[in-house]
Amino acid sequence: MTSQQKVILFILMIGNFLAIISTSSINIVLSSFMSIFNSDLQTVQWVASIYLLANGLIAPITGWLGDRFTFAKLFIVGMVIFSIASVLCSIAWSIEALIIFRFLQGLAAGIVVPASMTLIYLLIEKERQPFALSLWTLGAMFGPAIGPTLAGFLVSSLSWHWLFLINIPFCIVALILAKFYLKAGEQSSSSKSFDTKGFLLIVIGTVGIVYSLKLVETNMWLCVALFVFSTGLILFYVLYSFKKQNPILKLSVFKIPSYTYALLISFFLLFNLYSATLFLPIYLQNIRGISVFETGLILMPAAICMGVINLLAGNHYSHHRLLLLGIIGISGTVIGSFLLGQIDLNTSILFIIITLSIRNMGIAITFTVVSAAGMSEVPKELSGHGSAILNWLRQTFSAVALTVISVAFTAITLFREAQGVPYKEAFTQNISFIIIAGGLMTLAAIPMLWVCSRSLLRLMYRSPTVDKTT
Cα–Cα distance between 31 and 34 in angstroms, integer? 5
Q: Does residue 384 surpass a pLDDT of 60?
A: yes
Cα–Cα distance between 427 and 362 in angstroms, integer? 26
Contact criterion met (CB below 8 Å) for 26 and 48: yes
Cα–Cα distance between 262 and 271 in angstroms, integer? 15
Tell me what the pLDDT averaged over the chain comes to: 77
Cα–Cα distance between 99 and 64 in angstroms, integer? 27
Q: Does residue 454 surpass a pLDDT of 60?
A: yes
Rounded to 5°, angle at Cα 279 from 271 and 448: 15
Q: For 170-226, what is each residue's pLDDT tens digit?
A: 899 989 988 887 764 444 444 567 778 888 888 888 888 777 776 766 777 888 888
Tell me the average pLDDT across 348-357. 90
The answer to whether domain 3-182+248-462 has CATH 1.20.1250.20 is: yes
Confidence band of 55 (pLDDT split at 50, 70, 90): confident
Strand locations in 291-395 (E): none
Q: For 142-166, what is each residue's pLDDT tens digit?
A: 665 566 667 777 777 777 788 888 8
Q: Does residue 88 surpass a pLDDT of 90?
A: yes
Residue 462 has what pLDDT? 58
